[in-house]
Chain A
Amino acid sequence: MKGVGMMLPRATIGVSRWRRFRASIDWPLIITILILCGIGLLNLYSATRGVRHQAKFEAQMQWMVVGTIGFIVMTVIDYRTLVRLAWVGFTGGVLLIITARLLGSTGDEIHGVTYRWIRVAGVGLQPSEITKVMVILVLARIFSDPQEHNYTPRLLLMRLAILMIPIILIAKQPDLGTAVLVTLMVLTVGFIAMPNVWPMVYLTTAGLLAIPILWESMHEYQKNRVLAFVDCGWAPSKMCWHTQQSVFAVGSGKIWGKGYTGGTQNQFNFVPEHWTDFPYSVWAEEWGFVGSVGLLAVFAFLLIWILNIALSARDRMGAVICVGVAAMTFWHVLVNVAMVLGVAPVVGVTLPFISYGGSSLVTFFVAMGLVANVSLRKHGY
């Protein structure tokens, strides 16, 4: 990839910085994000067509503007600077989670009473979302050392212990979905970026053995969700209803779908809160198997492209950032879609760029900004 097709060697004389910057912009990445945002808005419009929810469409567009600003900021500042500040950001994220805890609870229909949100000027923010980006930066910092012998078990355990802090705090919000998701992200990055993979294997095995202990510390409603997933007879009917209606919605789309805004499950609210955690069921119902696979293909392309950037990154740090963002995207898509398809418990994990909600949207814009950052600086000018 060294300059092939790129007319910009490192020290082209007479070409301004701006033009070089512009030519280095990763258009495939940006276009993929735009496609996803477009699909997201299209889908949200259908999902919120009822009178009560029209404000959500407007809000989502505003959040996209905010996200774009985040993207640009994250692209412009050199990622090495950002990684240098990783622990600061990480600490900030943890403090925000603690703040959310102190500010008190919010309750809603699907999640029950939780401590997830911080309200700033009437806008609800979920600090756990943006903390994911901080975790990626920290991982980039941890794994930027290429020397295998520097990854001593002691050092590794200490770092991981620190990473466990936000995970435990998030789990205690309670938001098991996000906690599990961050765990999966850390493990994935570890498996890919550790020079020696065996410590990760031991660690994962130990974690799996600890599951019974974790089960005991879970909240009743979290247990219910998992049990509801295993067997409908276990849980309050509402949760099963949720998954069941979602499965009906997806299945009823058949091959070609019911047509845009024609999904009865979605339009008549049989799938509750379908704009946040279940937009994929709306999409699958209205666009059928063809549309559903098409959307997955876009995500697959995004993943491949991010990994491609990782491969061509200038340094280890940038590559790990890309791997982290790819892991985050991958697990978000996998968990969310599996949940919509009734093969995973119902947890609050969003579908990148498609789900309604500012925190998630901005987080992904910021994460993609980091990838664009790495892509922009791959030639190290």
Chain B
Amino acid sequence: MMIRGDSGYGPALPELNRRLRWVALGILIGFGFLIGRLWQLQVMRGDRYYARTMSNVVKERYLPSVRGKILDKNGVPLADNRPAFNIYATPRLLTPEVKAELERMLGLSEDEIRKIDERLAVGKKRDPRSPILVLEDQGRDRAALVEQARARLPGVEVHHEPYRYYPQGDLAAHLIGYMTQMTAEEADRLTAQGYDPSDLVGRYGLESAWENYLRGKRGVEHYAVDARGQRLDHETVAGLIQGERIIDPVPGANLILTLDVELQRIAEKAVSRVAAAAVVVVEVKTGRVRAIVSKPSFDPNVMTGHLTHAEYTLLMQDPRKPFIDKALRATYPPGSIFKFVTTLAALEDGQAAEDESMFCPGYYELSGTRFRCHGYHEKVDLLKAIKHSCDVYFWNLAQRIGLDRIADVARAYGLGAPTSLGLNGDAGGRIPTKAWYEQRGRYKVGYATNASIGQGDVEVTVMQMAMAYAALANGGKLFVPQVVERVESFEGRTIVSYQPKVAKTVKVPPDLVDVWNRGMWKVNNEPGGTAYEHGYSQVVTVAGKTGTAEVRKRYKDADHKDLEKWNPNASHAWFAGFAPADDPELAIVVLVEHGGSGGTVAWPIAERILAGYFTKLETGSTKNVPPPLIPKKGGKR
């Protein structure tokens, strides 16, 4: 092709001149389009995008509040906080490579990796751009590893946070309770109340029931990050964060309990040899709980965050049901310790007298059914009947007064109804009446016979019995059990102080109660008494009553052989009483679940607890110090 230069005048490219309008239109459309889009983004939607970019950079982190402590009456911590290292990850930034790096660096186990995946999945759904707790309570070495490798681990953070721990281990575990991560539906509900979904919540015992006092108020920290999730220093971003950068958390309130850790320890030691038991020790004059045991127990430290699936399964499979509070939640037939109800009902109605004697041939016949007494007591009066726990005597009384009178008095003493402690289920139990039986079928006279000795369908909790025996000892005041003495703010200022609360006053005349109490004295202090025969306390005079509550034989013997000392066909062993007998201070109820006989099993435990308590008390006082170890007169037979 020839290269032509047209040097003449006239447009060099006439096509351009001809099509200039179109060219201009093209440029106009192109730039107009861009400017229109700019207008849309920057002017119309500018504020929204501005907020969006700020949320890219400015993050919120909750500063966990320090949870309130739980202390015993002398200030010994039962639940406390220690520093722990928690590892957080931001789901959006945690690429598979970063995760692999983290796994490699820390040498994570299968279990831990699964846990991380689960938590990330939850976090991703909620807000993939805010960090979520993936590994809690890590050791100092792991924390240091992550801290050093921050540049290689975008989106991974380590925070130094208070962590719940229980310095006394499994001591009073059912009362104290434990904490766990919240479930999905709880997370929905509680985030509205200012919780962070990674927070632990009280799951059991006081930790759960007093959550609102204990949790305190969390703080907030605003900080800025770059696209890799790395924190930016405060100078760089000073202008970006509006308002307060840090709102300090408010620590939770401390609970001061009525519990006495030393007595609690004595009580737990006393039940160490039996498979399952419950003990409640209360102050008779106030209803304050001094010791409360439910065995088997668990370690709240393990339950709070560290429990593996295997451990959990093992605990759940235990036939003794470790997660049921045997002092508050579980109900049992009370057996002979219920006889005070029958006695007082009969005395009140004038259907019994202290000096009335009956003959116990070892059995009792009622409309063709023969009820067997546990012994052959011959001629017994009321006090002797109590002392020997002669069933025949009480069966006779029951026949005179009827089932509903027994139920009335039982109710008056708070049996068969929750104690209003509001903890761990606080069960009601059952005091059957005629109406109750008629509702479910036909009433038989034999039901009153059974109920009179605390068998049949009578079911109570250990705590109910403790409050009833305290009422026997204090002249009829039925207290609401109290475990929290006062609530203090973290600075030590008392927020609420709780006074003993009388639920109701029992109207049984004191002289009638005194008859029963004298019978109880004989149980512990006269040869032949069901307790005396198995040990006599030289430290303190005890008045009490043993009970051996038979259970329905539901299991073949072979079923639970694998667990030592656990025979679900054996009777429940009970002891209920108070000490000192002349001026009662403590009421105590001991239940050994499927433990056998009350006198041989439950009473020695109660004796050890009371001896421990009163030895300590005397040691601390100006009285002469008795030898710390008391040789038992009767010993175990």
Residues of A within 8 A of B (CB): 2, 80, 83-84, 141, 144-146, 191-195, 197, 245, 247-255, 262, 264-265, 267-270, 272, 284-285, 288-289, 292-293, 296, 299-300, 303-304, 307, 310-320, 323, 330, 334, 337-338, 341, 343, 380
- Across the interface, A251 reaches (CB within 8 A) one of B12, B14, B19, B41, namely B41
> A341 near B3 (CB under 8 angstroms)?
no
Residues of A within 8 A of B435 (CB): none
Is B221 interfacial (CB 8 A cutoff)?
no
> A268 near B45 (CB under 8 angstroms)?
no
> A318 near B12 (CB under 8 angstroms)?
yes
Residues of A within 8 A of B37 (CB): 338, 341, 343
26 residue pairs bridging A and B, Cβ less than 8 Å apart: A141-B3, A144-B3, A146-B6, A146-B14, A192-B16, A195-B15, A251-B45, A252-B46, A252-B53, A255-B43, A264-B57, A268-B225, A268-B227, A284-B38, A289-B38, A293-B38, A307-B23, A315-B6, A316-B4, A317-B3, A323-B13, A334-B30, A338-B37, A341-B34, A341-B38, A380-B5
> A193 near B13 (CB under 8 angstroms)?
yes
> B48 near A251 (CB under 8 angstroms)?
yes
0/1 string, B20-59, CB within 8 A of A gives 1: 1001001100110111011101110111111011101100
Q: Compute how far the CA of A327 lies from the CA of B322 in the bound complex, rounded to whole angstroms.
A: 82
B contact patch SS = helix
> A296 near B34 (CB under 8 angstroms)?
yes
Residues of B within 8 A of A192 (CB): 13, 15-16, 19, 23
- Across the interface, B27 reaches (CB within 8 A) one of A251, A317, A319, A330, namely A330
Interface contacts beyond A251-B45, A268-B56, A312-B12: sample of 16 additional A-B pairs, CB < 8 Å, sorted by A: A141-B3, A193-B15, A245-B56, A248-B52, A248-B56, A251-B52, A252-B53, A268-B224, A268-B225, A270-B56, A289-B46, A296-B31, A310-B16, A311-B11, A319-B16, A341-B38
Is B349 interfacial (CB 8 A cutoff)?
no
Residue of A nearest to B1 (CB): A145
Taking the closest CB of chain B, its distance from the CB of A218, in whole angstroms, is: 25
Residue of A nearest to B9 (CB): A2
The 8 closest A-B pairs by CB, nearest first: A251-B49, A254-B46, A268-B226, A319-B13, A251-B41, A252-B53, A269-B227, A289-B42
Is B374 interfacial (CB 8 A cutoff)?
no
Residues of A within 8 A of B105 (CB): none
Q: Compute how far the CA of A326 lies from the CA of B271 in the bound complex, rounded to whole angstroms.
A: 96
> B52 near A250 (CB under 8 angstroms)?
no
Q: Compute how far the CA of A28 lies from the CA of B131 in the bound complex, rounded to whole angstroms.
A: 54
Residues of A within 8 A of B42 (CB): 250-251, 253-255, 284, 288-289, 292
Q: Compute how far the CA of A156 lies from the CA of B583 in the bound complex, rounded to whole angstroms.
A: 122
Q: Compute how far the CA of A248 lies from the CA of B224 in the bound complex, rounded to whole angstroms.
A: 17
- Across the interface, A338 reaches (CB within 8 A) one of B2, B14, B34, namely B34
Is B563 interfacial (CB 8 A cutoff)?
no
> A251 near B34 (CB under 8 angstroms)?
no
> A265 near B56 (CB under 8 angstroms)?
yes
Residues of B within 8 A of A320 (CB): 13
> A254 near B226 (CB under 8 angstroms)?
no
Taking the closest CB of chain B, its distance from the CB of A343, in whole angstroms, is: 6
Residues of A within 8 A of B43 (CB): 254-255, 289
> B5 near A80 (CB under 8 angstroms)?
yes
0/1 string, B220-264, CB within 8 A of A gives 1: 000011111000100000011000000000000000000000000
> A316 near B13 (CB under 8 angstroms)?
yes
Is B439 interfacial (CB 8 A cutoff)?
no
Residue of B nearest to A194 (CB): B15
Residues of A within 8 A of B224 (CB): 268
> A84 near B19 (CB under 8 angstroms)?
no
Residues of B within 8 A of A268 (CB): 56-57, 224-227, 232
Taking the closest CB of chain B, its distance from the CB of A255, in whole angstroms, is: 6
Residues of B within 8 A of A293 (CB): 35, 38
Is B109 interfacial (CB 8 A cutoff)?
no
Is B7 interfacial (CB 8 A cutoff)?
yes
Residues of B within 8 A of A194 (CB): 15
- Given A268-B57, A269-B227 in contact, is the A317-B41 Cβ separation under 8 Å? no
Residue of A nearest to B50 (CB): A252
> A341 near B226 (CB under 8 angstroms)?
no
Taking the closest CB of chain B, its distance from the CB of A298, in whole angstroms, is: 11
- Given A144-B4, A253-B46 in contact, is the A269-B228 Cβ separation under 8 Å? yes
Is B17 interfacial (CB 8 A cutoff)?
yes
Q: Compute how far the CA of A90 lies from the CA of B451 in the bound complex, rounded to whole angstroms.
A: 111
- Given A251-B41, A307-B23 in contact, is the A313-B49 Cβ separation under 8 Å? no
Residues of A within 8 A of B240 (CB): 264
Q: Compute how far the CA of A80 lies from the CA of B6 in the bound complex, rounded to whole angstroms.
A: 12
> B225 near A251 (CB under 8 angstroms)?
no
Residue of A nearest to B239 (CB): A262
Interface positions of B from 48 to 76, Cβ below 8 Å from A: 48-50, 52-54, 56-57
0/1 string, B350-378, CB within 8 A of A gives 1: 00000000000000000000000000000
Taking the closest CB of chain B, its distance from the CB of A46, in whole angstroms, is: 14
- Across the interface, A316 reaches (CB within 8 A) one of B6, B31, B227, namely B6
> B3 near A83 (CB under 8 angstroms)?
yes
Residues of A within 8 A of B47 (CB): 254
Q: Compute how far the CA of A293 lies from the CA of B38 in the bound complex, rounded to whole angstroms.
A: 8
Residues of A within 8 A of B35 (CB): 293, 296
Residues of B within 8 A of A285 (CB): 53
> B53 near A270 (CB under 8 angstroms)?
yes
Q: Compute how far the CA of A146 lies from the CA of B14 in the bound complex, rounded to whole angstroms.
A: 9
Residues of B within 8 A of A145 (CB): 1-2, 4
Residue of B nearest to A320 (CB): B13
0/1 string, B483-519, CB within 8 A of A gives 1: 0000000000000000000000000000000000000
Residues of B within 8 A of A195 (CB): 15
Residue of A nearest to B13 (CB): A319
Taking the closest CB of chain B, its distance from the CB of A222, in whole angstroms, is: 23
Q: Compute how far the CA of A380 lies from the CA of B302 in the bound complex, rounded to whole angstroms.
A: 94
Residues of A within 8 A of B34 (CB): 296, 334, 337-338, 341
Most buried by B among A194, A268, A310, A330: A268
Taking the closest CB of chain B, its distance from the CB of A198, in whole angstroms, is: 13
- Across the interface, A313 reaches (CB within 8 A) one of B13, B23, B57, B227, namely B13
Q: Compute how far the CA of A103 lies from the CA of B539 in the bound complex, rounded to whole angstroms.
A: 99
Residues of B within 8 A of A315 (CB): 4-7, 12
- Across the interface, B41 reaches (CB within 8 A) one of A247, A303, A307, namely A247
Taking the closest CB of chain B, its distance from the CB of A338, in whole angstroms, is: 7
Residues of B within 8 A of A251 (CB): 41-42, 45-46, 48-50, 52
Q: Compute how far the CA of A80 lies from the CA of B7 in the bound complex, rounded to whole angstroms.
A: 13
- Across the interface, A300 reaches (CB within 8 A) one of B23, B31, B53, B239, namely B31
Most buried by A among B1, B19, B30, B41: B41
Q: Compute how far the CA of A195 lies from the CA of B17 in the bound complex, rounded to whole angstroms.
A: 12
Q: Compute how far the CA of A359 lies from the CA of B24 in the bound complex, rounded to whole angstroms.
A: 29
Taking the closest CB of chain B, its distance from the CB of A80, in whole angstroms, is: 7
> A269 near B226 (CB under 8 angstroms)?
yes
- Given A289-B39, A341-B37 in contact, is the A323-B12 Cβ separation under 8 Å? no
Residues of A within 8 A of B41 (CB): 247, 250-251, 341
- Across the interface, B30 reaches (CB within 8 A) one of A84, A245, A330, namely A330
Taking the closest CB of chain A, its distance from the CB of B39, in whole angstroms, is: 7
- Given A315-B12, A317-B5 in contact, is the A252-B17 Cβ separation under 8 Å? no
Residues of A within 8 A of B48 (CB): 251
Residues of A within 8 A of B54 (CB): 252, 264
Q: Compute how far the CA of A314 lies from the CA of B52 in the bound complex, rounded to whole angstroms.
A: 54
Q: Compute how far the CA of A337 lies from the CA of B50 in the bound complex, rounded to whole angstroms.
A: 20
Q: Compute how far the CA of A271 lies from the CA of B355 in the bound complex, rounded to whole angstroms.
A: 98
0/1 string, B166-182, CB within 8 A of A gives 1: 00000000000000000
Residues of B within 8 A of A296 (CB): 31, 34-35
Residue of B nearest to A272 (CB): B227
> A323 near B16 (CB under 8 angstroms)?
yes
Q: Compute how far the CA of A310 lies from the CA of B535 in the bound complex, rounded to whole angstroms.
A: 121
Taking the closest CB of chain A, its distance from the CB of B95, in whole angstroms, is: 10
Taking the closest CB of chain B, its distance from the CB of A259, in whole angstroms, is: 9
Residues of B within 8 A of A314 (CB): 5, 7, 12
